[in-house]
Amino acid sequence: MRIAIFTLMRLGPSLAYAIASIFILSMLLLESYPSSGSAWWLHMTILPVMREPIYLLLAVPGIGIWSAMVLLMLASIFGIRVALQPQRHYRSGFIHAHIALIATGLTMGRAAVAQAGLSDFAIPQLQRGDWSFLPLSYSPLGTFLFISVFSACICCHLRIIKRTLSA
């Protein structure tokens, strides 16, 4: 049971890369079917979570929309292999998980900057709901994704610490 839980925790970065590739797919669907309500729903659901990382990836010279989608799908498939065989790929899993954490953290940071910019014009009054971390309550999908990728990073750190202590 414990092994299954840790395997699911290590699948967090693969989920992040898969959602990023689905976001690119939603962009392609909007290009082909701009009046489709389901394409818009898919795009607008994933947009707050994956906008910054995908736009940064597409800004790299030489990476088009199709190559970005292939890269993200390969990263997701590689993450599944890393999650199923963590003892063989502990360094790769560490890098894989932390790149996904940086990408999801970048999205959270950009949301925090956007939220903080609004407070320059007016002094907000603290109410009962204002004690939550705004970027995490910004999107339930983003919250779930950040927590799952963060737990994968913790698993990587625990595995490296355990390996260091046993050596």
In 3D space, the residue among 25, 23, 51 whose CA is nearest the CA of residue 108 turns out to be: 51
Q: Quick one: tokens of 58?
A: 């597409």
pTM (predicted TM-score): 0.78
Please state, in angstroms and rounded to a whole number, the distance separating the CA atoms of residues 96 and 115: 29
Q: What is the pLDDT, as a whole number, of residue 14? A: 92
Q: What is the pLDDT, as a whole number, of residue 49? A: 84
Model pLDDT for residues 84-95, shown as the tens digit of each residue: 887 787 788 888
Low-confidence ranges of the chain (pLDDT < 50): 113-137
In sequence order, the 6+-apart residues with CB closer than 8 A to the CB of 42 are 22, 26, 29
For the chain, domain boundaries: 1-119+133-166
Model pLDDT for residues 129-161, shown as the tens digit of each residue: 444 444 444 678 888 888 888 988 898 888 888
